[in-house]
Amino acid sequence: MKTFHVKYALFPLLVMFLSACSVEKFIPEGEKLYTGATLKVDTIGDIRDLKNIERELTTLITPNPNTKFLGMKPALFFYYKAQRERPGFIYKFLNNSFGEEPVYFSEINPEQVEELLLNRLDNNGFFYSRSSSEAIIGNKKASVNYGISIQEPYTLGKYQLDRDSLPIYRELKKLIVETPLKKEDRFDLDLLKAERERLDNGLKQKGYYNSQANLLIFEADTNQYNNRKFDLFLRLKKEVPKKSAIPFTIDSITVFPNYSIEGDTIPVSNQKKTTVNGTDFIQNEFYFRPELLETYLLFKEGDLYDANTSKITSNRLSSLGSYKYVNIQYTELDTTMTDGDGGSLAADIYLAPLTKRSIRAEVQAVTKSNGFTGPGIQLTYSNRNLFKGGETLSLSTNFSYESQLSSGNNSSLSSIAWGVKGDLIFPRSIPFSPKNFRYSVPKTKISAGIDYLRRSQLFTLSSINGSFGYTWKENRYVYHQLDPVSLSYARLTNVTEDFQEILDDNPFLRRSFEQRFIAGLLYGFTYDEVSDLEKDYPIFFSTNLDIAGNLFSLIDGGSGTIIGSEYAQYAKLDADFRFYLRWGNDQTLVSRVYAGWGVPYGNSETLPFVKQFFSGGPYSVRAFNIRSLGPGNFNAQQEDATTDYFDRSGNLVLEANLEYRFPIVSYLKGAFFVDAGNVWLTGSYEDLEADQQQSAASNSLFTDGKFESDWISEVAAGFGFGARVDIQNFVIRLDLASPFRIPYRPENDRWNIPFFGDKGNRMTLNFAIGYPF
């Protein structure tokens, strides 16, 4: 009954508010508020896709009237109130945030709208259509009724090229064979423009350096039919410049590998010249080895000019990582017909190097979701073009100190970490030639590093790692990474009695740390359309395959060890799919699904700890701290608090996210989101379960953590909102989230009211750099 009284008490207040929002009293004398327009469509003959045509025509009826809400116009009401002599802070704020200026009938031009409607119909083949309009005038308001009578469209009969003896017509004839225009296609001006651009691009790839789309003309002939057909004829404009109708050949290629953007003052004759396969390299100071640089050029002396090849060559040179400026310039050497049908070009390639050496220092203040906070420093030294072949050497070292400020029994934990890493990147695929990869030059990367972590009161973990592999872009959207050799060795030392007790009580965790050697193959595939801002519905897909231990298993003689240490055997696969829906003023709805599965085999009973999946944290289910979920409905809170950081992982992960992003003001963005997910254990752990029973753990990790048919009931879920400072793609993010599904609570008590529930973990604040996905 209480809810009933509240609803009916609020109803009169709502009615009073909406009544107060009436705007008719504010409309000036002599003006009438424009309330919109209707469009009535009549058709003659068979017309396909009529709904889409009506929708397109409706977008041409402008301007739009002021927006309505429950029959009222609050946005216009706020505007009028803000124009008073003393509007007050509230109305100023409401007007700035939601207000709209009035749209008066005096601003409407029905004749112009009719002209736009008929023009659009003509552009789409509905010739000889008719339009009408009628103004509906009221006391303070006015509207317009538009009418359109759409004729049956003209469709394509035949598409052919006019005959001519010029060489360009021979190329056009070949290109027309591949036209997307088909017989019976409706006349469409936009399709004809796209066809003209396609033909022009095709000519530019066949040597026609001076080709332009506007030199091509389509002529539509409707006189040969009585059934609304048209024939399409293609020809060149009259009096086309001679140089636009002949192909050009590249006569010479000159590369300046050490060019200064400010301009070289040393005469070319005084600079050192080297010729490789007909290409001249001129540099006053030897900067880049010509025999290597030549392999990145996709055209050579004597080739026909090709705009696409020129663009790809420029991209390849830019991807070397040695140059900040790449410019390919062509000069016409002969615009007359030297042998009856062509001209010649000189190609000059100017390359301005980046600074060869650099040192970067970063001071960091880190706050993690698991409660660890502290300062850190990172130093990086880079040497570009190390061996004068575009190689980049990068050496980095880092040091950090973290302390867990408040986490129950863990409040006294601290850690010291440092590491040294070296990367040597070759801008080519060793041992393959760069010319085997047309779109982008692959890079060969050799890495090696040492990491040290000292966790007070627990353990010391030291590791060395190294890898050899390749990265390359197949096209604009597709990226590959392949590491055929990936090695790491980790050693756990200085184990305290407290941590040894954790390992004894948790055989799953103990086995994870015993696998010291990890050696295998890594492959990653990424398809990414997100950076293409012209796409309203871009997608992102990434998958990674990690296989380890097979080579060692062939040479270890069945011992399961290498150099006296156990190695890991497993296969691991994960996939990340995202769909972006963009609209309006920088608004985006992002949906994401992530899944991963790792299978230990051979001499491994578990995945190594560093290879296991975890859930929770600023890039996962944000209503829960990092590594605080799973496996399954396992409740670590019933165990010693110190174990909580370590054992919340599994070999199967499933996650889903939905996030709405919107602008607030300037660089400040906002978001609402829902996250769900968890990790589980799969497979058989009979030996480990026996050890677990011997340790008398009351809440079995293996029983509660296994992936079963009722897994959906063990999914954690949370809701939240966030603020992001986005300055040219550098993003600082704060997300506040709270759970509405807590899997580690009793099965009939897992639902929670976000932010206001009383079932623990009321809210989590996530601080991070970059978007979560």
Whether residue 544 contacts residue 521, with contact meaning beta carbons closer than 8 Å, is answered with: no
Q: What is the model's pLDDT at position 700?
A: 67
pLDDT at 506: 75
What pTM was computed for the model?
A: 0.76
**Please, where are the H alpha helices in 288-359?**
290-293, 307-318
Helix 307-318 and helix 189-204: axis angle, to 10°?
Answer: 70
CB atoms within 10 A of CB 374: 19
Q: Which of 112-116, 247-251, 719-723, 758-762 has the lowest mean pLDDT?
A: 758-762
- Which long-range contacts (C-beta less than 8 Å, at least 24 apart) are formed by 224-231? 224/157, 225/157, 228/45, 228/152, 228/153, 228/154, 228/155, 229/154, 229/155, 229/156, 229/157, 230/154, 230/155, 230/156, 230/157, 230/187, 231/156, 231/157, 231/158, 231/159, 231/160
What confidence category does residue 255 fall into, taking pLDDT thresholds of 50, 70 and 90? Answer: very high
Residue 694 is inside which H or E element, if any? helix 686-694
Burial class of residue 536, CB neighbours in 10 A (0-12, 13-18, 19+): exposed
pLDDT value, residue 658: 97
3-class DSSP assignment, residue 566: strand
d(CA 577, CA 773): 10
* Residue 447 β-bridge partners: 423, 467
Mean pLDDT, the chain, whole residue set: 85
The H-assigned helical ranges of 284-393 are: 290-293, 307-318
State both tokens at 127: 């010739």
Nearest CA-CA partner of 736 in 748, 713, 719, 752:
719
Q: Which sequence spans correspond to the domains of the chain?
A: 2-150, 155-244, 248-353, 496-769
Q: How far is CA 277 from the centre of its chain?
A: 40
Q: Which residue has the tokens 């003052």?
A: 265
Band of pLDDT at residue 327, cut at 50, 70 and 90: very high
- pLDDT tens sequence across 620-673: 999 988 878 889 888 766 544 444 445 578 899 999 999 999 998 888 999 999
Quickly state the pLDDT bin for 106 (edges 50, 70, 90).
very high
| Fold classified for 248-353 | Ubiquitin-like (UB roll) (3.10.20)
Tens of pLDDT, residue by residue over 194-206, are: 999 999 999 999 9
pLDDT of residue 551: 82
Share of the chain above pLDDT 90, in %: 49
* Beta-sheet strand order (sheet of 248-256): 272-276, 279-283, 248-256, 343-353, 323-334
Beta bridge partners of 491: 462
CATH pick for 2-150 out of 3.10.20.310, 3.30.1300.10, 3.30.360.10, 3.40.640.10: 3.10.20.310
Per CATH, which fold does 155-244 belong to? Ubiquitin-like (UB roll) (3.10.20)
Question: Which residues, 6+ apart, have CB-to-CB distance to 211 below 8 Å?
Answer: 168, 200, 203, 204, 244
pLDDT exceeds cutoff 50 at 1: no
Give the SS3 label for residue 55.
helix
Residue with tokens 């409407």: 108
* Cα 509 to Cα 405: distance, rounded to the nearest angstrom: 25
Quote the tokens at residue 645: 């950081």
Which of 79-83, 128-132, 162-166, 382-386 has the least mean pLDDT?
Answer: 162-166
- Is residue 269 predicted with pLDDT exceeding 90? no
Using a 10 angstrom Cβ sphere, with 0-12 exposed, 13-18 middle and 19 or more buried, the burial of residue 30 is exposed
Q: Beta-strand (E) ranges in 166-271?
A: 216-221, 229-236, 248-256
Residue 466 or residue 645, greater confidence: 466
| Beta-carbon contacts of residue 282 (< 8 Å; ≥ 6 apart) | 254, 255, 256, 268, 271, 272, 273
Residues β-bridged to residue 706: 681
Top-level CATH class of 496-769?
Answer: mainly beta
- Decide if pLDDT at 541 tops 80: yes
- Helix (H, G, I), strand (E, B), or coil: what is residue 175? helix
Is residue 333 within 8 Å of 440, Cβ to Cβ? Answer: no
Q: By three-state DSSP, how is residue 219 classified?
A: strand
Predicted pLDDT at 691: 60
**Fold agreement (155-244, 248-353):** yes
